[in-house]
Amino acid sequence: MRAPLLIASIAWALQACNTDCPTVNGQPVHLLSELKAFDGALKDQRPAAGVYPYSLQAPFFTDYTHKQRFIQLPSGTHLTFSADGVFDLPIGARIFKTFGHYADQADPTKGETLHETRVLERVGNGYVPYLFIWKDDQSDAECRPGGASLPSTFFDATGASVSINYQTPNVDQCQFCHGYYDPKPLGVKGRQLNHVNDYGAGPVNQLDYLVAQGALQGEVPAPENRPTQLDPTDVTGTLDERVRSYQDTNCGMCHNPKGLARVTGLYLNLEATDPFARGICRPVVAYLRSGGFQRVIEPGRPELSAMSFRLSSMDPDIHMPAGFNQLIDRDGVQLIDGWIQSLPEGTCPR
């Protein structure tokens, strides 16, 4: 799949800005194993000492991949809690995100093929992105800043066989989502990490675990005062809350006043609350890509809403979220369509 037009042209302009691989003690690193974040067979992704796995309340959808996330802290350092934003990471810290497809999504025990491991490393003045592509034999992953297209076949949760050329970004494209010229982590926030995980000794809240390990310091609030981002699949939340949480992760990093999609004025980050900014009754800006529909969201009518149209189209110039996905997030589309359906019809000014 081609990246959407706009993204493709920006990618061209930025080509070869960053062709680096990480260094350790001044020596360039070519293999993921050299970063010493994992013990045992690398493909098992068993964290080494000083490496902390974590998961999120609302993850980003990437072609039904299974993701594993880890933070590696230099010894004697720690994360610093932030009440509303991304944790502060010490210099030298790395965050790893490994993407793979289970052979059968309904049965993870049937094995997994790992595709890529993305890395953000904290340096003096910000973060540097790196990309490792897994070898066919899964013995290690190679630093490949140019990215890769990887044929992948798997059974999805409905039992259907799916074949795609899984597309990784290159390291110049990380900034589309992670921020222009100044990439930053997106998910390592209190509200995303505030839930229970099992590190092998029974369920424990991730924030409490990190604090107990000395890996997280600062003013971590008592459990009852912690911010939490709703799990979008949690049906105890309202449709509106679920949609806002889903969109925050899947759309909000571009659709915010500073993001790649700022020119649209369509803001889908959690901080955006104005219904018009969120698309309700909003006239489309990108009318050539909006399927002929006039409004981003026509209340009560997903079939007349440009948002639904763009989520369900697989034309690479039209599909949202913009980027690299080849597959539609069926659950995400269903959630957003159901929410649009629930909005009272005929309420836009004519």
Residues that bind ligand HEC (CB under 6 A): 4, 6, 56, 59-60, 69, 95, 97, 118-120, 129, 131, 169, 171, 173-174, 176-178, 185-188, 247, 249-251, 253-255, 260-261, 264, 266, 268, 284-286, 289-290, 296, 306-307, 310-311, 320-323
| Nearer Cβ to ligand HEC (22/187) | 187
| Nearer Cβ to ligand HEC (110/258) | 258
Q: Which residues contact 66 (CB under 8 A, 6 or more apart)?
A: 99, 100, 101, 102, 108, 112
Q: Residue 161 CB, nearest distance to ligand HEC (Å)?
A: 25
Compute CA 177 distance to the chain's CA centroid, rounded to the nearest angstrom.
9
Q: Residue 203 CB, nearest distance to ligand HEC (Å)?
A: 21
Q: Residue 272 CB, nearest distance to ligand HEC (Å)?
A: 12
Measured distance CA(315)–CA(236) in Å, rounded: 34
Q: Which residues contact 3 (CB under 8 A, 6 or more apart)?
A: 11, 173, 316, 322, 323, 324
| Nearer Cβ to ligand HEC (201/288) | 288
Q: Residue 305 CB, nearest distance to ligand HEC (Å)?
A: 8
Q: Residue 224 CB, nearest distance to ligand HEC (Å)?
A: 25
**What element of type H or E holds 338?**
helix 330-342
Complete DSSP assignment for 66-119 = EEEEEEE--TT--EE--SSSBPBPPTT-EEEEEEEEESBTT-GGG-EEEEEEEE
| Nearer Cβ to ligand HEC (150/296) | 296
Helix, strand, coil percent content, the chain, rounded in steps of 5: 25, 25, 55
Contact 32, 25 (CB under 8 A): no
- Measured CA to CA in angstroms, residue 327 lies from 55, 166, 201, 331 at distances of 22, 10, 36, 12
Longest dimension (CA), the chain: 65
Q: What is the DSSP letter of 345?
A: T
State the distance between the two ends of the chain, measured CA to CA, in whole angstroms: 39
| Nearer Cβ to ligand HEC (5/106) | 5
Beta-strand runs (E) in the chain: 23-24, 27-28, 38-39, 46-47, 51-54, 66-72, 79-80, 94-102, 112-123, 126-134, 141-143, 149-155, 161-167, 196-198, 203-205, 216-217
| Nearer Cβ to ligand HEC (73/322) | 322
Q: Residue 93 CB, nearest distance to ligand HEC (Å)?
A: 11
φ, ψ (nearest 5 deg) of residue 305? -105, 130
| Nearer Cβ to ligand HEC (5/110) | 5
Q: Residue 291 CB, nearest distance to ligand HEC (Å)?
A: 10
Q: Residue 64 CB, nearest distance to ligand HEC (Å)?
A: 13
| Nearer Cβ to ligand HEC (100/185) | 185
Locate tokens 């590696």: which residue?
72
Q: Residue 251 CB, nearest distance to ligand HEC (Å)?
A: 3
| Nearer Cβ to ligand HEC (186/220) | 186
